[in-house]
Structure 1
Amino acid sequence: MQTILTQAFSASLIRSFSRTAAAMTLGFALSTTAVPLAAQGLFSPAVTVDNAAITYYELNQRALFMGVLRTPGDPEVMARQELIKDRLKLAELAKVGISPSEEEITAGMTELASRANLSLNEFLTVLKQNGIDPETVRDFTKVGIGWREYIGARFLSRARPTEAEIDRAMGQAGSGGVQVLLSELIVPINEQNAQQVEALTDQVGQLTSFAAFSSAATQYSASDSRNNGGRLPWMNLTKLPPQLQPVVLALDPGEITEPLPLQGAVAMFQMRGVREVTGSRQRYSAIEYASYYIPGGRSAEALALGQEIANRIDTCDDLYGIAKDQDPAVLDRQSLVPAEIPQDIAIELAKLDPNETSLTLTRNQGQTLMLLMLCGRTAELGEGESRETVANALTQQRLESLSSSFIEQLRADALIIEK
């Protein structure tokens, strides 16, 4: 199984090398215009990554190469970004002593050429006609091969799916699309207010109208939904934590759940509606999220800081820059199967789209505010796939996600100077 999974990631990286290279043929020699070089000089540093320099010549070469491969985006911008990543990767590879052999590099270049239906010599000749030095392709391939080996060794055990996860991904966990319309009330709880919270939830449990529950949510709930009377939009049942799904489905419209214990809070939900939708329900094999911890709990200062950070970030990767030079424990990023996610986090994630944030949850008995961000959901694969194909796909998805997250962490910790 390990060999199969390693091969899956290997194939994935090769595809990433040459996603558009298949369009290349012997007659494709483009009139590629060289990227203008800076006046500082061909081999002057354009970027430094810690102690490693990236020259204007390397930027020009990579931009030409990416243009020939028709890589999406501005070649100059993408070349700079990718070479910075390469320097970060090379530094990490040097730490662990990984250096691909000449035979491995040649084999990788040959594989890249074959995806354009060219021999290696033909491939290099066409590139040379477009101003691209063979050493540029060699460096590109060397980093990719070394990084594949490193990521496989570091993360493969975490990325390997279990038999149960493969079953779920193959659609053996049932079907049928159901959406629910809920209202929520989430109340922070600690030793000091435990009795008051218990009294409040007892009263809320006796409510019989939507308006009364909405009023209670507006007054007492810590969730952002309080601004809408606790009312949530229609959501797929499968977005909710697995343990909460049967509880919600057992409710009739207007009924309210018993108080559900969360970490540092209790939650209650009122059913407003349920409906079936056409097609099979969407299931998820993994959900990736990030948690950034802010001292002060739900104090006005902590909430203001949390909102300020939320306004500054666009993706989970941006949190590495926020957490730079702080205790590593301040930021936690995970990719878990839904059943493994803590229930309070899973409830919040169910309400978020990718790259959206929540400031509802706390940790450390309410003393630490959690800025929660949904990075993304990995959809389960449909039926009709072989177990090997599904295992490979799940592994590939997870390794690529882990690799991207790790590179962003390296970037946040590095001193990068762009000229």
Structure 2
Amino acid sequence: MATVNGEPIRARELIQASYEWFAATAIEELILERVIEQEARAQRVTVSNAEVEARYKQQLQNAESQVPPGMSLDDFLKRNQFPPSRLFARIRSQLLVEKLVERQVNLDDFVEYSQLVIRIQGNTPEQQEENTPAAEAKAQEAYQKIKEGLDFAEAVKEYSEDPFSKDRGGKMNWQNLNFIVPDLRQKLQAMQPGEISEPFKMMGSIVIIRKERTGSQASPEEQQELREQAVRLQIGEYVRQLQAKAKITNTIVQPFDPTTAAPPGGPNAPRPPAARPVPR
């Protein structure tokens, strides 16, 4: 396999060292691949060689920019423990799990809305309590004008105190309902597209919102972006759930669940990092 001043390093030495040094990592990666493959078979999810090849070529192009001068791409990948076979296998697993997660995506978990925000002035709870009636009165004035026919976007420009959305007529980017504060989520879930809420208090402000669209009403291009975003958000938890329900034995290293293990040094000590999902 190699020589040093004529003295050989034999294959059996390399095999033994590779097993002792890297087996724990390799077996856990193989287990994860098998868990994903089994779930994909159960749900009749497949990926084609063409799909894997396309992502593989993309990954190689990304890696090329990191190769030091004088080193080949092949050697660079091997030195980083990513020979083509490992990279190909990982990409295949990634594509499978992406398709599995995409099956669970509900586009109507995404919502587009506009907001009119009146800040409650004050740096202390007492000051804010004192100034709440003034903010409520201003919001109620804006709401009344909207009811009388003033365009919502025009009302935002006239009344809103949120510098981030005011110039856009209050319109916010697509939001995932699962990651919106509960008060706002409940309001949006109870509303129909085009409906305008009465003023309500939220996070130190009095807010009026208009529900614009749900994900199923988005354009095809937007829907694809929303699906990809949902997959990115959900893939880690999905993989953890697959691992949790699988019956796994591992004689090389004991499975470790960082979410349940007590951290060294007592309950206030830092917890170890969470298990990583399959990398892209």
Normalised TM-score (structure 1): 0.32
Going by fraction, where is helix more abundant, 1 or 2? 2
Larger Rg: 2
Going by fraction, where is strand more abundant, 1 or 2? 1
